Chain A
């Protein structure tokens, strides 16, 4: 699956797409693949504040619970309600329909330090090598 050029990526495998002072956040295709079948998602309610680097929710597969960390600080304006009943969408469309939350940015410093698509692809290729060594 292609990694959109307009997104930025974290080492913990979240993506963020910034449009003005609004941003959309999700987990990457690499992340969903590592997790396996996603069966449960827990997300903050609108109005909640999230802080850079802090956990704001969880995505669970059959086997494991994964914390999701905020790539930027902001106030949640919408959580993806569809994921409550169809969490498996995260496995099929992690960069699109299965976004997790939309936020109003409080502080966008640091976002430009996150990886771009090319850097992230190199980062996960490296991880792949580690795993098969």
Chain B
């Protein structure tokens, strides 16, 4: 047996909770240059962690994510103008306390990174970015906001970010936070006291397809471990368990959420990735817009589809998709067994002619052509909350 993930420990970066993960016996891997927990055998491992988030609640250390604050310079309006220029969604539509999924694009209309933009104030924004692209993103944002009257701060090392995810996450947060969470809808945020830490940012966001929260606390080890401990304590009655990046990946894949370097990259544009919904061409100019307009006229050569394996076999990242004749037509960007569905699923780029639901194609697995079928996505959608029982 040979493991696919060979750890290279020495140069890896660590979150403030690294020692805690090791004490918990987590299995650690190199994730984009970070020494991160992939699963916790003490939680029952990846599948148990995945199921806990779907059924109840789990907690993730996502402190490797980066944070960029853009606020106004001397005159108001500079930060908003800068954010509008560097991201594809319309930040002017955000209320203070609201967040949106967006992306930063190259002039070619391909991805620098995807990002969650939080509007902290009238002219004050927090962009949460990916771990593997942190330095690249910060440099790119600084470079491309130079001509705007705004201040760019890299706050990535200032926060420990915990994600509390699952249908019972709200119950855990109610116990944990002195804040009114009823008004905090999906993709909104508030501030509250968490473990005695005043003005803690509490956002109803996540990367699992479930209801959930992400909280941002000071990044010293003592505070980070204390908050983690309080989350576990508050979640105990709901069966909360520590969850690693392994199930974070299977959860986001089932929900068809993009992962940088897989579904989106500097080679893939917005139309191909199917992220039109978050790209507001009518908002005015932004980096990448002109290329996207041209690309839209030309039509896409490939498009992202969901696949379900029909034959035995698991499609994995970078496996080749082919047609009946065995000719290569596309490539898998993410593939895995789905713990929720009990099926083997994948996302893949294929020509539009192969994108209709029900289309049969094949994934080459160790030299074998294995049958797969285009299916609707997301693979999993969280059930709508049942209406509260009538009060008599």
Contact = CB atoms under 8 A, between A and B. Distances in A.
Interface in B20-50: 22, 27-28, 38-39, 41, 45-47
A54 to B, nearest CB: 13
Contact of B2 (A28, A40, A67, A131): A67
A60 B249 CA distance: 16
Contacts of B139: none
Contacts of B2: 12, 66-67, 69
Given A59-B1, A62-B250, A133 B9 contact: yes
Given A36-B46, A37-B45, A62 B246 contact: yes
Interface in B348-366: 366
Interface string B243-273: 0001001100000000000000000000000
Interface of A: 12-14, 27-28, 31, 33-37, 39-40, 42, 58-69, 130-133
In this complex, the member of B4, B9, B41, B313 whose beta carbon has the largest number of chain A beta carbons within 10 angstroms is: B4
Nearest to A33: B41
Contacts of A31: 1
Given A62-B47, A62-B246, A63-B4, 11 more contacts: A36-B46, A37-B47, A40-B313, A62-B250, A62-B337, A63-B46, A63-B246, A64-B5, A69-B1, A69-B2, A131-B7
A44 to B, nearest CB: 13
Contacts, number: 68
Interface of B: 1-5, 7, 9, 22, 27-28, 38-39, 41, 45-47, 246, 249-250, 312-314, 316, 336-337, 339, 366
Contact of B4 (A12, A27, A37, A65): A65
Given A60-B314, A62-B46, A62-B47, A40 B4 contact: no
B1 A66 contact: yes
A7 B314 CA distance: 31
A27 B1 contact: yes
A132 to B, nearest CB: 7
A79 B337 CA distance: 23
A36 B4 contact: no
A14 B1 contact: yes
Contact of A68 (B1, B316, B336): B1
Contacts of B45: 36-37
Contacts of A59: 1
Contacts of A65: 4, 314, 316
Nearest to B41: A33
A58 B41 CA distance: 22
A58 B312 CA distance: 13
A132 B5 CA distance: 15
A39 B2 CA distance: 17
Contacts of B246: 36, 62-63
A114 B7 CA distance: 25
Given A37-B45, A37-B46, A58-B366, A132 B4 contact: no
